[in-house]
Chains A and B, each alone.
Chain A
Amino acid sequence: MALQLFINGLVTGLLLALPALALTLVFGILRFANFAVGAFLTLGAYAAYTANVVLGLPLPIAAAVAAATVALASLIADALVFERLRMRGSITLLVASMGVSLVVENICRFIFGNAARSFDLAVARPIRWNGLRINHEQLITAGVVVIALVLLHLLITASPLGRAMRAVADNASLAAVRGVERRTIARITFALTGALIGLAGVLAGLDRAIDPLMGWNYQIPIFAAAILGGLGSPIGAVAGALLIGVAEEMSALILPVSFRQIVSFGVILLLLLFRANGLFGAKAIRK
């Protein structure tokens, strides 16, 4: 039982890793927590639903459509909103991202309504092994996320683009002096993180019903994961996501299922009390 919950938790954590990473990368470069993450996740799920169910495309192609859609939507949000407010400080950006979140969520609601939807996917028997049940969806999620994380890790650590991203996150003015434009890097980061969030939306749609509030339900765990890892630290975000996923699932051993979401919030509170820089201590984030 405990082992089963642990495995479920790891898969949930992997799912959270993509949006948590997206949140932390944007924070690293633009210094604000993007509250539209949840709404963009919902958008990704609906984009994949449209490709998969309405147009009848296979799910891998639908996932690519979702990643492209959310990447594009993030770029648009950046160009129309975030770029224009960049000089006005992180409080304004925070509130603006909340506005963007409302717009995106309600575009989805306007088109698709409140009814729960799901992908067109053959129901497969879960794999049983030593008393454990593992769904095919869980395997897909784990596989996709691990591949995405490895690629992203290579991109960040071993490519000129990744170096430029780290340089801007570390010290934007210094990077600008060396000819790395924050503007360009910010755009690329928004597109990249949009694709990650879109992909996460598809994986979330495999796990649960697609409805306009689905992304909202991931919002707190995503933020908890990013804070746990130390806002701005990519590896921390992944580790944080795994810990949050496992903690949420394992909490079923001692808490009623309906209280699951309290776990993430509890983790945030404890962290802020004792270790505000996150477990993996990025730079100091005190004022």
Chain B
Amino acid sequence: MISYLVTVVILVAIAALVGLALNLQWGLAGLVNFGVAGFVALGAYTLAISAPHVGWLAGLALSAAVCAGLSMLLSLLTIRLEENYLAIVTIGFAEIVRILLLNLGDLTGGALGIADIPRPFAGVTPAGWGDAVILAFALGLVVIVFAFSEALVRSPFGRALRAVRDDATAAAALGKPVLALRVRAFAIGGAIMGLAGALHAFFLTYIDPSQFTPIITAYAFMAVIAGGRGSNLGLVLGAGSIMLILEATRFLKDVIPGVDGVQLSALRLGMIGVGIVLLLILRPEGLVSEPKRRFADFFPPESEKA
């Protein structure tokens, strides 16, 4: 039971990381990324391939760097065009990643995947503490990324991104470098997705292409919509509750008679779709709406300065 709880918390942590990344790209910068699963897979595989040679820390950095680089390229390609194009290119990217993972067997192990991925601090972990260490690592990663995202939202960079999202023309007229802002936001989001993929690989220590289906993308969108676009706190709550609901529905099979495993998973995924649509229609600002930031939040008046 304890190890099951640890599993759930780590799954929530991974979902929260992916959600924070998408929140940055879509919530803050208005860039639709339908290839989330591809970036997570790329992060996981980069780590799995590199970590045995360069160590887990360098592998982690490499995962983030590779995903950031590819995000940058994809966004550069389409970012001048309508939103539709970035969405199409990212969805295509995820498919290509999947095909390459399956077919570049020498590098990726093909459908069999890669096993025996080293975990962080594996050498200094006492026997039996493996799960506790990975749990602490996951939570630490979420806290760091969350703090970073919050700082980003409050920074001039985050403010400029919101301006670009809400009205790119006006932002450009005010001298904001729209293109550069968008590319950077997309790259940072990609890097966080890479980290999420790396955490996934650390946790399972075994990865194969079937773990990275487009469902990851659907969950991430659901989390961002539910949590409230642009709100990092809402996002973590959203990602957490979605993961918990999904995990809870695993047990429905024992309760509802006559529903087999495939039907149950269809039901769960269908509900995600219904949830995305319903929330978009009924509560577009999400459960926790993006905080209204006033001028004074950024530049407190002299009297309030201590």
| Chain A positions near chain B (C-beta within 8 angstroms) | 27, 32-33, 35, 80-81, 84-85, 88, 90-92, 94-96, 98-103, 105-107, 109-110, 113-114, 212, 216, 219-220, 223-224, 227, 231, 256, 258-259, 261-262, 264-265, 268-269, 272-273, 276, 285-287
What would 12 more interface pairs be, CB under 8 Å, given A90-B82, A91-B83, A96-B277? A85-B281, A95-B221, A96-B281, A105-B269, A106-B266, A109-B263, A231-B84, A262-B96, A265-B92, A285-B81, A285-B85, A287-B82
Interface residue B177 (Cβ < 8 Å from any Cβ of A)? no
Contact assessment for A287 and B284 in the assembled complex, using a CB-CB cutoff below 8 Å:
no
Name the residue of chain A whose CB is nearest to the CB of B278: A99
| Chain B positions near chain A (C-beta within 8 angstroms) | 26, 30, 32, 34, 77-78, 80-85, 87-89, 91-93, 95-96, 99, 102-103, 168, 214, 218, 221, 225, 260, 262-263, 265-267, 269-270, 272-277, 280-281, 284
Q: Which of B26, B83, B102 has the most CB of A within 10 A?
A: B83
- In the assembled complex, 15 residue pairs joining A and B whose CB atoms fall closer than 8 Å, in A order, are A35-B34, A84-B281, A95-B32, A95-B276, A100-B277, A110-B263, A220-B91, A220-B92, A227-B85, A227-B88, A261-B99, A268-B89, A269-B77, A272-B78, A286-B81
Contact assessment for B32 and A220 in the assembled complex, using a CB-CB cutoff below 8 Å:
no
**Cα distance, A224 to B91, chains bound together (Å):** 12
Smallest CB-CB A-B distances: 3 pairs: A102-B273, A99-B276, A106-B270
Contact assessment for A223 and B284 in the assembled complex, using a CB-CB cutoff below 8 Å:
no
**Cα distance, A116 to B261, chains bound together (Å):** 17
Contacts of B274 in A (CB 8 A): 99, 103
Contact assessment for B277 and A262 in the assembled complex, using a CB-CB cutoff below 8 Å:
no
Contacts of A90 in B (CB 8 A): 82-84
Contacts of B26 in A (CB 8 A): 91
**Cα distance, A287 to B81, chains bound together (Å):** 6
Contact assessment for A91 and B266 in the assembled complex, using a CB-CB cutoff below 8 Å:
no
| CB of A97 to closest CB in B, whole Å | 9
Partner of A102, one of B30, B77, B81, B270: B270
Main secondary structure of the interface of A (DSSP, over half): helix
Main secondary structure of the interface of B (DSSP, over half): helix
Take A85-B281, A287-B82 as given contacts and tell me if A272 and B89 are in contact as well, using a CB distance cutoff of 8 Å: yes
Contact assessment for B266 and A33 in the assembled complex, using a CB-CB cutoff below 8 Å:
no
Contacts of B263 in A (CB 8 A): 109-110, 113
| CB of B117 to closest CB in A, whole Å | 25
Contact assessment for A269 and B89 in the assembled complex, using a CB-CB cutoff below 8 Å:
yes
| CB of A75 to closest CB in B, whole Å | 16
Partner of B273, one of A88, A101, A261: A101
**Cα distance, A276 to B84, chains bound together (Å):** 12
Name the residue of chain A whose CB is nearest to the CB of B178: A287
Name the residue of chain A whose CB is nearest to the CB of B96: A265
Contacts of A95 in B (CB 8 A): 32, 221, 225, 276, 280
Contact assessment for A32 and B84 in the assembled complex, using a CB-CB cutoff below 8 Å:
yes
Contact assessment for A276 and B81 in the assembled complex, using a CB-CB cutoff below 8 Å:
yes
Contact assessment for B103 and A258 in the assembled complex, using a CB-CB cutoff below 8 Å:
yes
Contacts of A109 in B (CB 8 A): 262-263, 265-266, 269
Contact assessment for B92 and A223 in the assembled complex, using a CB-CB cutoff below 8 Å:
yes
Take A95-B221, A287-B80 as given contacts and tell me if A268 and B92 are in contact as well, using a CB distance cutoff of 8 Å: yes
Name the residue of chain B whose CB is nearest to the CB of A115: B262
Contact assessment for B272 and A85 in the assembled complex, using a CB-CB cutoff below 8 Å:
no
Contact assessment for A259 and B273 in the assembled complex, using a CB-CB cutoff below 8 Å:
no
Contacts of A32 in B (CB 8 A): 84
Contacts of B276 in A (CB 8 A): 95-96, 98-99, 102
Contacts of B281 in A (CB 8 A): 81, 84-85, 96
Contact assessment for A113 and B81 in the assembled complex, using a CB-CB cutoff below 8 Å:
no
Contact assessment for A272 and B81 in the assembled complex, using a CB-CB cutoff below 8 Å:
yes
Take A102-B218, A272-B89 as given contacts and tell me if A92 and B280 are in contact as well, using a CB distance cutoff of 8 Å: yes
Contacts of A258 in B (CB 8 A): 99, 102-103
Contact assessment for B77 and A272 in the assembled complex, using a CB-CB cutoff below 8 Å:
yes
Take A110-B263, A273-B77 as given contacts and tell me if A33 and B280 are in contact as well, using a CB distance cutoff of 8 Å: no
Partner of A106, one of B77, B81, B269: B269
Contact assessment for A33 and B92 in the assembled complex, using a CB-CB cutoff below 8 Å:
no
Name the residue of chain A whose CB is nearest to the CB of B276: A99
Take A107-B270, A110-B263, A272-B77 as given contacts and tell me if A219 and B91 are in contact as well, using a CB distance cutoff of 8 Å: yes
Contact assessment for A287 and B168 in the assembled complex, using a CB-CB cutoff below 8 Å:
yes
Contact assessment for B221 and A98 in the assembled complex, using a CB-CB cutoff below 8 Å:
yes
**Cα distance, A269 to B85, chains bound together (Å):** 10
**Cα distance, A109 to B270, chains bound together (Å):** 9
Contact assessment for B103 and A261 in the assembled complex, using a CB-CB cutoff below 8 Å:
no
Partner of B218, one of A96, A98, A219, A261: A98
| CB of B43 to closest CB in A, whole Å | 20
Contact assessment for B87 and A94 in the assembled complex, using a CB-CB cutoff below 8 Å:
yes
**Cα distance, A108 to B93, chains bound together (Å):** 26
**Cα distance, A285 to B84, chains bound together (Å):** 10
Contacts of B84 in A (CB 8 A): 27, 32-33, 90, 94, 231
Contact assessment for A91 and B32 in the assembled complex, using a CB-CB cutoff below 8 Å:
yes
| CB of B72 to closest CB in A, whole Å | 14
Partner of A261, one of B91, B95, B260, B270: B95
